[in-house]
Amino acid sequence: DGGITQSPKYLFRKEGQNVTLSCEQNLNHDAMYWYRQDPGQGLRLIYYSQIVNDFQKGDIAEGYSVSREKKESFPLTVTSAQKNPTAFYLCASSIRDRVGPQETQYFGPGTRLLVL
């Protein structure tokens, strides 16, 4: 089955701790994205990557870091600098925009991060 997997489903973070959320896709998509979802606020873009070894900050990148060493993987680290990390985190991927308008984003099942 082709798709996007995120792990773990639930993650607990202690004060001052860095945690890493996993996102893997086997769709052969070039672009990958991380969003944060808070109640009543929709989704906000944290980071995105159009190609391996390259990524850009989204609207709320402070306190987060990413890497894109492989096409199929785009892990997100929530650092201790992120003071309000409790949220639902969603990873997405899409075929990189080429001639046609085919950049529909497909989402993983999400990871819920809670602070102890």
Q: Shortest Cβ distance from residue 58 to other proteins (Å)?
A: 8
Nearer to other proteins, 79 or 105 (CB): 105
Q: What is the distance between the alpha carbons of residues 70 and 17, in angstroms, rounded to a whole number?
A: 25
Kindly write down the DSSP assignment for every residue of 99-114, as one continuous string. Answer: SS-----EE---EEEE
Q: Shortest Cβ distance from residue 53 to other proteins (Å)?
A: 17
Q: Shortest Cβ distance from residue 80 to other proteins (Å)?
A: 26
Nearer to other proteins, 106 or 115 (CB): 106
Q: By CB under 8 A, name the binding residues for other proteins.
A: 4, 6, 31, 33, 40-45, 48, 50, 56, 58, 90, 92, 97, 101, 103-110, 112
What is the number of other CB atoms lying within 10 angstroms of the CB of residue 62? 11
Three-state DSSP at 19 gives strand
- Where does residue 93 rank: exposed (0-12), middle (13-18), buried (19+ CB within 10 A)? buried
* Residue 8: cis peptide before it, omega within 30 degrees of 0: yes
Q: Shortest Cβ distance from residue 101 to other proteins (Å)?
A: 5
Nearer to other proteins, 75 or 80 (CB): 75
